[in-house]
Amino acid sequence: MQFTIRRDAETPIYRQIVDQVRAGIATGDLPRGARLPPVRQLALDCGVTRLTVHSAYAELQAEGLLESYVGRGTFVASTAETLPAPSSKEPIAWEGRSIVASLMRHGDRPGIISFVQAFPARETYPVSELEAALHEAMADPDVLGYGHTQGDPLLRAEVATLLAQRGITASPDDLLVTAGAQQAIDLILRAFTAPGDVLLVEEPTYPGVLELATRSGQRVVGIPNDDGALRIHALEAACLAERARLLYLVPTFSNPTGRSLDSPSREAVLRIAARHDLLVVEDDTYGFMPFDRPASPALRSLDVDGRVLTITSFSKMLAPALRLGTVVARGDLLASLATVKGASDLVCSAVLQRALALYLRAGHLPGHSRRTAALYAERRDALLGALERHMPGCTWMLPEGGLNLWLTLPGGIDEAGVANDALAAGVAVTPGAAFFPRRRPHGSFRLSYGALDPDRIEEGIALLARVLQDHLRMQGRVAPFGAGGPLV
Amino acid sequence: MQFTIRRDAETPIYRQIVDQVRAGIATGDLPRGARLPPVRQLALDCGVTRLTVHSAYAELQAEGLLESYVGRGTFVASTAETLPAPSSKEPIAWEGRSIVASLMRHGDRPGIISFVQAFPARETYPVSELEAALHEAMADPDVLGYGHTQGDPLLRAEVATLLAQRGITASPDDLLVTAGAQQAIDLILRAFTAPGDVLLVEEPTYPGVLELATRSGQRVVGIPNDDGALRIHALEAACLAERARLLYLVPTFSNPTGRSLDSPSREAVLRIAARHDLLVVEDDTYGFMPFDRPASPALRSLDVDGRVLTITSFSKMLAPALRLGTVVARGDLLASLATVKGASDLVCSAVLQRALALYLRAGHLPGHSRRTAALYAERRDALLGALERHMPGCTWMLPEGGLNLWLTLPGGIDEAGVANDALAAGVAVTPGAAFFPRRRPHGSFRLSYGALDPDRIEEGIALLARVLQDHLRMQGRVAPFGAGGPLV
């Protein structure tokens, strides 16, 4: 492989080397196990310092693309990813950078039973209460103006009160109103990270954060989450190896697993965050949506030095079209976030903010939450029943809240292949790869079931099971129906 | 000055040098005219290649912070900005990166007559029509869901029809719905530029674009706009000297001047954009708000190869709380923008989009536009009258549309000083520096008058005039009242 260094480019030379190696691996020009030129040699060839080449190799090694052995040299890692070979069938664009857009798109196809989007059920939208709140809000024409960058003071006061249910003590001044959780994550990344920074996430995690981190040139390091037990040693090791600034978690009713982080993990996260001066982003989108038992208090309730930023969203628990969420953060952090909010889109809609504030003040939320929890629990149970009846050789986690279930296929089954064939058969699921920083397949699916009634759930899982049976049969394996079971 | 190079840092070494010189200039450690170490010497001291130092100096020179003279060396430029000395009075935080947030904040102080924000008049908000539209929209509960990333098809169809009035031929597929013009600008910069890229803007320009460009590490190069005549030679020269990718303009009823780009400039912009492969961002926020004569057709109406992206906003012409605008763009560009929109905040509020679509379909806009144009023309005339009666030795441009007027102070008057004293006296104006990439004072103010009734305008200008008189008197100059006049 030939390296081409442009000295007049704005891109630093070490970055040019990194980019060219990465491109070589992706295209197969540098296959797994290929030997890279020695540092000294490449420095001489390119007319750069050895330090420059060394920096480039070190970065690629940290990403897992290269491996170095003392005395032997530097090689493309045996686990480095190359571009997938083009599929003969019409492939689903799960890969690439626009995974969020893909998620939004694929479930929209007419006639498809979609487990793809973590949508709430349309029949739960509190139409008449919100309309009454909008009517009341518009009695003051100022709500059609810009309002405050930080958000409507009335809404912030109502949310501050609501957060007490999550164990969070916050004043209205501690809150910034955002366009849902996705914008909250975006603002946090824009305010507190720079390209090249390391972002720590649990694995599996919410794809929206991976999309943003990739777009802004950050390196994402995954910390395995084994059904609520975060691998603390891996977190500690990552903090020692990388100068990470942020750790992103969905500690309560995780997206994609519906399971919560256990107490020892919560305490360990805060301990390690303090030791390594990490900010912890707590995405509490599902924290108000428990099924059987109350949710664990928010991670922030244990936070003594203001390093946890907690995101709340009204998209799932009330209605996505509100486009409203909040971030609780320490004063200095909140000021930075508000500045980025102003630059991004000035403000959230004042009229929607006021309507939500009036809805909350009228006391509608508790009844709504009870009704929706019952509905989603019924759908979860329908899903669990369908999985037990139909899914051959699979395991799954029992969701404790939220809208998602994590299904693991029998070993050796190609998740993308099943997902593609399932789509052709009329059912859409999200392949597990979408939830991992490296986008490697993990033989898993996320099933989002909130927007499907029990009959559609049954029908969809039966279809999915037939596709999986076909795949097992193609491999010469036959698993009996009903052979799987819940992991927990 | 001592340079500290960290070899283990993720920041490239040339960037470390750039940052340290910049910081030195800002703090005064490196005063104007100070001599920098010769390239060879600094390279030796820091143990880096001469190329590295040279790259750093070249970047600083391109920014106008350093000047090099053959045989003499490299010096801090005589025009380089240092941090302003702390003022004895409570200073206004116009400086720094958060100028948009500052703009939003200062006019909010109670009792202040604020010419700061380009706010529409609250009495123009079509409250009952929008409420009826919201009621109609919510008959379909799906409008409380997520909807499409690209935006509500009904709204896109209505806006596509509306754009014909601006000479733009667009289908609904050519449109992306955004959270107002500010988000449209943000998405465009995120989709099509990288840190270090050069962004071209006219001078003076909208501060929101400067804020975003600065935050994302872009270099902004200003092209003087002399009352609608863009300095084409400067544009051509900038394109030759820099590898610019984007040119941002408000060609119709400019913010901050209220004047439009003339025909020769419009044609020249498109010619040069084609020659240098520039994308042109046409911010048409005020294009639907003419006073006396119809607005010029949009720049995009002359565009033959799809390099103009036109931004429309409903914030000024209807109501800011809608948080709705659109971008028209070529298919490939639109796809990139939609991906970034999805990553930023998923979607705009479906219910607000549908309500706006129904409002437009009901045919309410033309009557609303006639009524608001009459109101704003009356306020503009009140402002022009007040300026003629009160403002000593000033000149101003005659706004042809929009919500803003550009006022130029007598020579030698410190705009920030007058603005600070005016605030203390109860009237807020935006210093001209906010509208220039380098944030240098230009002895000017933007006066945004849309939200003030004629009596408040008269009162505010009288107050401002007294403050200016004081400043003239402090300089031993006395200008008679009424000595100024309109430029045009």
The tens digit of pLDDT for each residue in B141-171 reads 999 999 999 999 999 999 999 999 999 999 9
- In this structure, are residues A385 and A405 in contact, taking their beta carbons and an 8 Å threshold? no
- Lowest-confidence range among A380-384, A418-422, B183-187? A418-422
CA distance B12 to chain A (A): 7
Q: What is the pLDDT of residue A85?
A: 33
User: Among residues A288, A484, A271, which one has the least CA distance to residue A395?
Assistant: A484
Amino acid sitting at position A111: G
3-class DSSP state for residue A5? coil
C-alpha B471/C-alpha B399 separation (Å) is 27
Model confidence over B261-311: pLDDT tens digits?
999 999 999 999 999 999 999 999 999 999 989 999 999 999 999 999 999
- Lowest-confidence range among A252-256, A438-442, B95-99? B95-99
Better pLDDT: A438 or B325: B325
Q: What is the 3-state secondary structure (H, E, C) of chain B?
A: CCCCCCCCCCCCHHHHHHHHHHHHHHHCCCCCCCECCCHHHHHHHHCCCHHHHHHHHHHHHHCCCEEEECCCEEEECCCCCCCCCCCCCCCCCCCCCCHHHHHHHHCCCCCCEECCCCCCCHHHCCHHHHHHHHHHHCCCHHHHCCCCCCCCHHHHHHHHHHHHHHCCCCCHHHEEEECHHHHHHHHHHHHHCCCCCEEEEEECCCHHHHHHHHHCCCEEEEEEEECCEECHHHHHHHHHHCCEEEEEECCCCCCCCCCCCCHHHHHHHHHHHHHHCCEEEEECCCCCCECCCCCCCCHHHHCCCCCEEEEEECCCCCCHHHCCEEEECCHHHHHHHHHHHHHHHCCCCHHHHHHHHHHHHCCCHHHHHHHHHHHHHHHHHHHHHHHHHHCCCCEECCCCECCEEEEECCCCCCHHHHHHHHHHHCEECEEHHHHCCCCCCCCEEEEECCCCCHHHHHHHHHHHHHHHHHHHHHCCCCCCCCCCEECC
- pLDDT above 60 (res A100): no
Six-digit token string for A29: 């020009």
User: In chain B, pLDDT over 90 holds for what percent of residues?
Assistant: 68
Mean pLDDT of chain B: 89
Give the up-direction half-sphere exposure of residue B340: CA atoms within 13 A in the CB hemisphere: 22
User: Among residues B314, B277, B286, B278, which one has the least CA distance to residue B175?
Assistant: B314
Distance of CA B463 to the CA centre of its chain: 27
Mean pLDDT of chain A: 89
Model confidence over A144-202: pLDDT tens digits?
999 999 999 999 999 999 999 999 999 999 999 999 999 999 999 999 998 888 999 99
For A464, list phi and psi in degrees, rounded to 5. Answer: -60, -40
8 Å CB contact of B130 and A138: yes
Closest CB from A7, A141, A186 relative to B51: A7
8 Å CB contact of B215 and A340: yes
Better pLDDT: B13 or A213: A213
Which site among B11, B60, B144 would you substitute to test the A interface, given the most A Cβ atoms closer than 10 Å to its Cβ?
A: B144
Q: What is the pLDDT of residue A99?
A: 52
Q: What is the pLDDT of residue B28?
A: 67
C-alpha B296/C-alpha B268 separation (Å) is 16
Closest CB from A149, A197, A322 relative to B349: A322
- In this structure, are residues B203 and B436 in contact, taking their beta carbons and an 8 Å threshold? yes
C-alpha A175/C-alpha A153 separation (Å) is 9
Model confidence over A334-349: pLDDT tens digits?
999 999 999 999 999 9
Tell me if chain B has a CB within 8 Å of the CB of A485. no
- The most confident of the ranges A379-388, A428-437, B37-46 is A379-388
Six-digit token string for B370: 């006639």
Q: Which residue of A has its CA nearest to B140?
A: A127
Under the banding of pLDDT at 50, 70 and 90, the label for residue B61 is confident
Six-digit token string for A427: 């059912």
Residue A438 per-residue DSSP state: T
Q: How many CB pairs (< 8 A) connect A and B?
A: 192
- The most confident of the ranges A82-96, A301-315, B91-105, B435-449 is A301-315
Stretch 32-71 of chain B: residues touching chain A, C-beta under 8 Å:
48-49, 51
Tell me if chain B has a CB within 8 Å of the CB of A448. no
- pLDDT above 70 (res A87): no
Model confidence over A251-274: pLDDT tens digits?
999 999 999 999 999 999 999 999
Under the banding of pLDDT at 50, 70 and 90, the label for residue B108 is low
C-alpha A166/C-alpha A298 separation (Å) is 5
Bridge-based pairing of strands B308-313 and B325-328 is antiparallel
Better pLDDT: B44 or A395: A395
- pLDDT above 80 (res A321): yes
For A433, list phi and psi in degrees, rounded to 5. Answer: -55, -30
Terminal C-alpha separation, chain A: 50
Stretch 322-351 of chain A: residues touching chain B, C-beta under 8 Å:
322-323, 338-340, 342-351
- In this structure, are residues A52 and B51 in contact, taking their beta carbons and an 8 Å threshold? no
3-class DSSP state for residue A430? strand
Amino acid sitting at position B89: K
User: In chain B, pLDDT over 70 holds for what percent of residues?
Assistant: 91
- Lowest-confidence range among A207-216, A249-258, A270-279? A207-216
8 Å CB contact of A117 and B190: no
Average pLDDT value for residue range A311-331:
97
Better pLDDT: A25 or A250: A250
C-alpha A273/C-alpha A308 separation (Å) is 9
User: Among residues A266, A288, A261, A247, which one has the least CA distance to residue A403?
Assistant: A288
- The most confident of the ranges A54-63, A317-326, A433-442, B438-447 is A317-326
8 Å CB contact of B182 and A343: yes
Model confidence over B314-338: pLDDT tens digits?
999 999 999 999 999 999 999 999 9
Q: What is the pLDDT of residue B208?
A: 94
3-class DSSP state for residue A139? coil
C-alpha A389/C-alpha A379 separation (Å) is 15
pTM of the predicted model, to two decimals?
0.81
Task: Give the relative orientation of helices B50-62 and B13-27 as an angle to the nearest 10 degrees.
Answer: 50
Q: What is the pLDDT of residue A487?
A: 57
- pLDDT above 80 (res A103): no
8 Å CB contact of B144 and A127: yes
CA distance B151 to chain A (A): 12
Could you tell me the CA-to-CA distances from B52 to A40, A175, B24, B27, B64 in Å, in that order? 19, 44, 19, 24, 19
Closest CB from B143, B321, B350 relative to A349: B321
Q: What is the pLDDT of residue B90?
A: 34
Six-digit token string for A463: 């279809």
Six-digit token string for B154: 């009904």
DSSP H stretches of helix in A71-206:
99-106, 127-137, 153-163, 180-192
Distance of CA B115 to the CA centre of its chain: 16
- State the CB neighbour count (10 A cutoff) for residue A345: 26
- In this structure, are residues B259 and B291 in contact, taking their beta carbons and an 8 Å threshold? no
Which residues in A lie closer than 8 A to residue B120 (C-beta atoms)?
A: 145
0.95 surpassed by complex ipTM: no
